[in-house]
Amino acid sequence: MRPVPITALSLCNGMGMTTAEVLAGLRAGRSGLGPCPPEIGLAGAATVGAMPGPLPPLPAEFAAYDTRQARIAALALAELAGPIERAKGRWGARRIAVILGTSTGGIGASELAYAHHQAHGVLPDWYSVETSHALDAVLPVVCGLAGLAGPAYMLSTACSSSAKVFAAAQRLIHLGVCDAALVGGVDSLCQLTLRGFAGLEVLSAAPCRPFSALRAGINIGEGAALCLLEREGEGPARLLAVGESSDAFHMTSPHPEGLGARLAMERALAGAGLSPGDVDHVNAHGTGTRQNDSAEGAAIAALFGPGMRVVATKGYTGHQLGAAGATEVAFTALAIAHGFVPESVGAAPPDPEIAVRVTTQFEALITRAAISNSFAFGGSNVSVLVGAPA
């Protein structure tokens, strides 16, 4: 399949409410992690990547969908109003798909509704499973606010959700189903995920340290990332290819040698007709757990050699689950567009048993191509290969 230009992108997460704020944080090595909000229930026991400011309510016509997740998605969407209007003028609203990934969906809204039911014996008037909880509840908001009428659907494969959307969009454009696609991911903080990872004993109370010898677990984050892909056009980077695999080694643990991860990266390279030597850096999944980082490091070293430059960015945002894949693809595109690789916050001192070169400080770098990895529970592995503009 032909490369697809990424003509515009937007981000919001614990680092900032706008793409400009997030980019400034990446350049400065400034983490967006902080204490867990008291309403989540793990105050003092968890560090998270929470949105740093209040989220504007949705317009009145979307009041039935007005959840935290929908507000985060709308915030990211607002930045793309101009590029989306230009794309609609070029292709038509019916020729632009919307494909988004999420993991938690509206679980946070359901937790609030359940608490209300416990206190009052009835669900709150604003709550509906279809418009508040469902994984696709955010779609009418995004499509409606953007005025898009093409194919629209959600993907939910845990932490690889919003990486897989890039593969779906490239296929749709290649097959002529659409001419452009708005892709990305959104997730919001909720008790279920925080307490769930605490139950798995992989949640760190301190800021996470991916690939560090001192790593002790993950942090959870929230946010959204959106990318506009078009059949033709110019932008900060290009989507070259996507590699996918499903190793199903274990429900919650990666294959210890990273076999599924390596297969996904190999398939991304094959899809673009590139060799390992054509890749200048890897944005790792890098959660900060002992097993994940060791397995991913082994896979990267086996494919690219021990000198491959590896960037781990969850020290900035925490693990955003369903939004992580798109966020890190956007980070990779920004790094390509602005000629740098960011510091891997928290990675120092790197684990000497992981045979890759982890970036521990900001570095100016002209990147021809880079891989962004996203790996999920159950062995759903996705590697998105991003290249410089043509």
Q: Active-site residue among 12, 143, 159, 208?
A: 159
Q: In what order do the strands lie in the sheet with 34-35?
A: 34-35, 47-49, 220-221
In whole angstroms, give the CA distance from residue 325 to residue 127.
29
pLDDT above 90 as % of the chain:
91
Query: Is pTM beyond 0.75 here?
Result: yes
pLDDT value of residue 262: 95
The strand pair at 281-284 and 369-376 is best described as: parallel
Q: Is 319 a catalytic residue?
A: yes
Instruction: Using alpha carbons, list the distances in angstroms from residue 375 to 62, 258, 285, 319.
Output: 33, 10, 6, 11
Nearest CA to 184 out of 261, 337, 72, 269 is that of: 72
Ramachandran quadrant class, 323 (left: phi over 0; alpha: psi -120 to 50; beta: rest): alpha
Q: How confident is the model at residue 281 (pLDDT cuts 50, 70, 90)?
A: very high
Q: What is the pLDDT of residues 176-235, one digit of tens each?
A: 999 999 999 999 999 999 999 998 889 999 999 999 999 999 999 999 999 999 999 999
| pLDDT surpasses 80 at 256 | no
pLDDT at 254: 73
Q: How far is the C-alpha of 184 from the C-alpha of 155, rounded, in Å? A: 10
Active-site residue, selected from the candidate residues 133, 255, 281, 319: 319
pLDDT of residue 82: 98
pLDDT band for 41, please (50, 70, 90 cuts).
confident
Residue range 238-251: mean pLDDT, rounded: 89
Question: Rounded CA gap, 49 and 51, in Å?
Answer: 7
Q: What is the pLDDT of residue 147?
A: 98
The predicted pLDDT at position 44 comes to 75
* Gyration radius of the chain's alpha carbons: 19
> What is the pLDDT at residue 5?
98
pLDDT band at 387 (very low <50, low <70, confident <90, very high): very high
- The active-site residue out of 133, 255, 281, 285 is 285
Q: pLDDT band at residue 334, thresholds of 50, 70 and 90?
A: very high
What mean pLDDT is reported for the chain? 96
* Residue 65 to residue 135: CA distance in whole angstroms: 12
pLDDT at 258: 81
- Under the banding of pLDDT at 50, 70 and 90, the label for residue 324 is very high
- Contact, 346 vs 212, CB < 8 A? yes
255 has pLDDT over 80: no
Residue 208 bears catalytic tag = no
On whether the CB atoms of residues 58 and 71 are closer than 8 A, the answer is: yes
Q: What angle do CA 334, 385, 352 make, to 5 degrees?
A: 85
CA atoms within 13 A on the CB side of 261: 31
User: Confidence band (pLDDT; 50, 70, 90) for 43?
Assistant: confident
CATH architecture assignment, domain 4-387: 3-Layer(aba) Sandwich (3.40)
Q: In angstroms, how far is the first alpha carbon of the chain from the final one?
A: 15
pLDDT band at 377 (very low <50, low <70, confident <90, very high): confident
Write down the pLDDT at residue 100. Answer: 98
Q: What is the pLDDT of residue 193?
A: 93
Q: Quick one: how far is CA 294 from the chain centroid?
A: 21
What is the pLDDT confidence band of residue 42, given thresholds at 50, 70 and 90? confident
User: Which of 285, 369, 282, 279 lies closest to 319 in space, CA to CA?
Assistant: 285
Per the DSSP assignment, residues forming a β-bridge with 20 are: none
The stretch 253-268 carries a mean pLDDT of 88
Does the annotation count 117 as an active-site position? no
Under the banding of pLDDT at 50, 70 and 90, the label for residue 247 is confident
CB neighbour list of residue 376: distance below 8 Å, 6 or more residues apart: 157, 158, 159, 160, 161, 382
How do the domains of the chain map onto residue ranges?
Answer: 4-387
- The dihedrals phi and psi of 266, each to the nearest 5 degrees, come to -60, -40
- pLDDT more than 70, % of the chain: 99
Q: Look at residue 311 and tell me whether its pLDDT is greater than 90.
A: yes
pLDDT higher than threshold 80 for residue 367: yes
